[in-house]
Structure 1
Amino acid sequence: MDTAMSAPVSKVFLVDDAAEVRRRLARLLALIPGVVIAGESGGGERAFEIIVASQADVAVLDPCFGGRTNLVLIQALSRARPSIVSIVLTNHCASACRRACEAAGADFFFDKTAEFTLACRAVETIVNARRARSA
């Protein structure tokens, strides 16, 4: 049996109000073996439902849009779907925002300006760990 074909796929869902950021993330994450982009959202009230329906394993999200921080999505994912790894990637990197995201249940927090590549590496590490567990 071909191990590449039997390797588990990790579904990643992207939430950011900037379409260009979602496109850039999708391009970079698609280069990681075993990653499939499960979907995208510009945010909003239905993001939780869409993420759950996509059966995502990882959600890369920016909870800051419309001039305010919306922690409801992180909280909902953390409570209802704790198996989904929540990775915050945002320009709002003040320590208060970081603490609020972590308190809401975010698994990882990255600065969109300085740590974009690190966020992608975190996804790669998660995917590789998942693959190793199922081997």
Structure 2
Amino acid sequence: MHRILTIDDHEVVREGVKGIFPTGVAYFGEARSGAEALEMIRQNDWDVAILDISLGGRSGLEVLKEIKALKPKLPVLVLSMHAEDQYAMRAFKAGAGGYITKASSRDELREAVLKVINGGRYVSVSMAERMVVNLGTSDKPAHETLSDRELEVLCLIASGQTVGEIAESLSLSDKTISTYRRRILDKMQLHTNAELTAYAIRNRLVY
């Protein structure tokens, strides 16, 4: 029986993941936060962890790095609402065994889970093609200079969310989000949210 730990702050997602295998094939543990996940990983052995990138209060990529430091051999599959272009490469560099979006089908998710459990890496065909193309380019886009959290804030701004809405979704203060926004604009040499949005669309960070 596969032992699967789902790390997501939304109950509907955690419940949905349980449906990828028939009853009796897998045991599912659930964690609502990075801290809860790390404690469960310390106390129990798991075959795979399914991790959301956008956890309230913390970046899922930060949690991923802590998981790999704690249990280097534990496979981690990133399950995210964000398009692959945004986070897949960062997730793999941080130690993820696979990256799949929440828009994927149940069959695709099951395939991804089984692949990383068996020691493989999972990425969609389209993302694999883009990764190969990127290997031949030396110029890095401006958003590659951003931290993981700054990139997350950039994508949320570009998707039309206000500072207050972003602060609430990430469990941070309005002031903190405004500081991130200012850093993003400075690093990318942009001046307005409209310019950030245009950049994000042009670079396939939002759709």
TM-score range, shorter chain: 0.7 to 0.9
- Pick one of 29, 46, 56 that aligns with 1:56: 46
Distance 1:89 1:115 in 2: 12
Q: Are 1:90 and 1:112, in contact at CA under 8 Å, matched by a contact in 2? A: yes
- Pick one of 8, 18, 37 that aligns with 1:26: 18
Distance 2:71 2:57 in 1: 27
Structure 2: where are the runs of 5+ without partners? 120-207
How many residues align structurally? 119
Q: Are 1:87 and 1:119, in contact at CA under 8 Å, matched by a contact in 2? A: no
Partner of 2:72, secondary structure, is coil
Partner of 2:82, secondary structure, is coil
- Pick one of 68, 77, 85 that aligns with 1:78: 68
Distance 2:43 2:109 in 1: 23
**Does the alignment pair 1:87 with 2:61?**
no
Q: From the superposition, tell whether residues 26 and 66 of structure 1 become closer, same or farther in structure 2 (CA, over 3 Å).
A: same
Q: From the superposition, tell whether residues 98 and 13 of structure 1 become closer, same or farther in structure 2 (CA, over 3 Å).
A: same
Q: What is the CA distance between 1:65 and its match in structure 2?
A: 2.4
Give the structure, 1 or 2, with the largest relative contact order (CA under 8 Å, sep 6 or more).
1
Distance 1:87 1:96 in 2: 16
Q: From the superposition, tell whether residues 73 and 90 of structure 1 become closer, same or farther in structure 2 (CA, over 3 Å).
A: same
Q: Are 2:33 and 2:56, in contact at CA under 8 Å, matched by a contact in 1? A: no
Runs of 4+ deviating beyond 4 Å: none
User: Please, what TM-score do these two structures have when normalized by structure 1?
Assistant: 0.73
Q: From the superposition, tell whether residues 106 and 50 of structure 1 become closer, same or farther in structure 2 (CA, over 3 Å).
A: same
Q: Which has the higher strand share?
A: 1
Q: Bigger radius of gyration, 1 or 2?
A: 2
Q: Which segment is superposed worse, 61-70 or 83-92? A: 61-70
Q: Are 1:57 and 1:83, in contact at CA under 8 Å, matched by a contact in 2? A: no
Query: For residue 7 of structure 2, what is the aligned residue in structure 1?
Result: 15
Distance 2:90 2:23 in 1: 30
Q: Are 1:32 and 1:124, in contact at CA under 8 Å, matched by a contact in 2? A: no
Partner of 1:71, secondary structure, is helix
Q: Are 2:51 and 2:77, in contact at CA under 8 Å, matched by a contact in 1? A: yes
What does 1:38-57 correspond to in 2, within 5 Å? 39-57=29-47
Task: State the identity %.
Answer: 24
